Structure 1
Amino acid sequence: MPDAHRPGAPLPGRRPDPAGPAVEFRDVTTMLDETPVLFRLGLSLDPGTVTVVMGPSGAGKTTLVRHLAGLVAPGRGTVTVAGADVWTAGEAELRRIRRGMSVLFGGSSVFESSLFGSLSAYENVTYALDGRGLDPGRVERIAMHRLREMGLHDRADALPGELPAHGRKRLAIARTLAVGAPVLVLDELETGLDATYAATVVAAVREQHERSGATVLVTTHDVELARALADTVAILCHGRIVAAGPPSELLRGVHDADEFDRRFRLSDLLGPPDPDATRAELDGGRKRSRTIELDPRTVAPALLLIAVVTSYCLFLLLTR
């Protein structure tokens, strides 16, 4: 099997055994500026799979990514990579975890902060490969391959500021994919991307996944992109994962943002987390005896079962 931890390994005829680790968010609760963002969130990424997290703007997708990257600590809960807690790891362990990740941060301009304005497009990609023990010839081949697949090979000498906004986004993607890390994170993948290159980016991400067997986390608003990439789609709404499953089932009949909202956001009966309940959670005072949480997907079946049992009992009483 090719060395999946080295970028640019030959593409095998089948997907390699998973090289990427399991990633888990367990009971994560976070407030930012006194606003609840995530509430008792749980999400597991199976080794070597692509998980696409979808949700409306402000749902907490980028906060989730920042927790994983070790940039923003959750108020409560754990974030683990291969069983190692990102937020209790020592300095050396945290460096090891981060070295095993390649992360593209989202937002309309946030991804540009990962590019060096004084370095050419080619130098930006090769800089990401520094210190990984690759010979110069291999570094050059990887960099030019990534620039070529992003349609930037003829602008290799251009500075980021000389590229259009969608070109800078493609350069940031090329830089992120070049590393070939066991954990690949692509936040708001479609933001700032010219629609002309959407299929190109999807093909590049899929090729990288097939090449490396990495564990991949993608966040997006785009339904079609989720269908094209995901092994599992997880819906983040009101700070919680409200549904998860294969895209063929979860996104069946969903073709636009309005239908997505009707199916998930508007039908989430629990609504946004209550600030007081979130503060109590962060303080460790859950007081479960005062709180009853119902999964809206189980309410209707439970009521139906109660009605059937009650009717049957009445029937037995009346026919005795």
Structure 2
Amino acid sequence: MRRSKNTSLDTLVTDFILLGLSHPPSLRALLFLVFFIIYILTQLGNLLILLTVWADPKLHSRPMYILLGVLSFLDMWLSSVIVPRIILNFTPASKAIPFSGCVAQLYAFHFLGSTQCFLYTLMAYDRYLAICQPLRYPVLMNGRLCSTLVSGAWVAGSIHGSIQATLTFRLPYCGPNQVDYFFCDIPAVLRLACADTTVNELVTFVDIGVVAASCFTLILLSYANIVHAILKIRTAEGRRRAFSTCGAHLTVVTVYYVPCIFIYLRAGSKSPLDGAVAVFYTVVTPLLNPLIYTLRNQEVKSALKRITAGRGSVHGNK
């Protein structure tokens, strides 16, 4: 471990060692391959959704698909912040990450993760308006308002990431420097601080746990109203299409929020399950998003067929 002298403290950590996910050495090659394939599929799947929404005029003019495109963009970056570092831990390469790199990773993860959290809430609100207020939907959720809401989610996410990174790394870190986790996240890093972390844990609980729980509650309330409205649809086909569209979103939201709330409402926990649970919303969710939205959304599948046939730009409005 490299250290540098400081006038107020004996030594300060200049890098961290990420211990990664616990695994038997015999499975190292297999896990490397699994996470490498997951990363490639995540990037390709989300890039395909992003390009499809951008290329098809029938999709990129509708708020629902604008939000889906933004979600794919976020997933690509979120996966890139976390998964390559996991893959590196299955190789003989150094597990060290510079102090500044740890700060950047923590900020990027919470910036992208919280933006995604707000985006899921906007997607639920969009579906609520489309199903429960169909006649007023074009006025209540137009392209301009959608862009404004998305911009607000990005700004809020950036503020959130800045607050968490600043509070976490304002504390002194004088050793040890081994982070018992697969990336630089708040609970794991705080355990290494050479100072009282009570304020940090409280802020983590409120700013992450409660915000995530609140967003999840708003989403559930939106879907409670949506289900009530769907049950009033007289035709079975109409109910099926509405449930299919909303079911995809609710599935992804559950996979994302439940593990997230489990981790951050227990900021002081040292459970060995935390790492396994965190894999769901850092690795699995970005992979599932394009699969679920493509396989369960007829309009996206139709747009893909048009683009594959080379007719997306000509017949996209038909």
Q: Same fold (TM over 0.5)?
A: no
Larger Rg: 1
User: TM tier, shorter chain?
Assistant: under 0.3
TM-score normalised by length of structure 1: 0.24
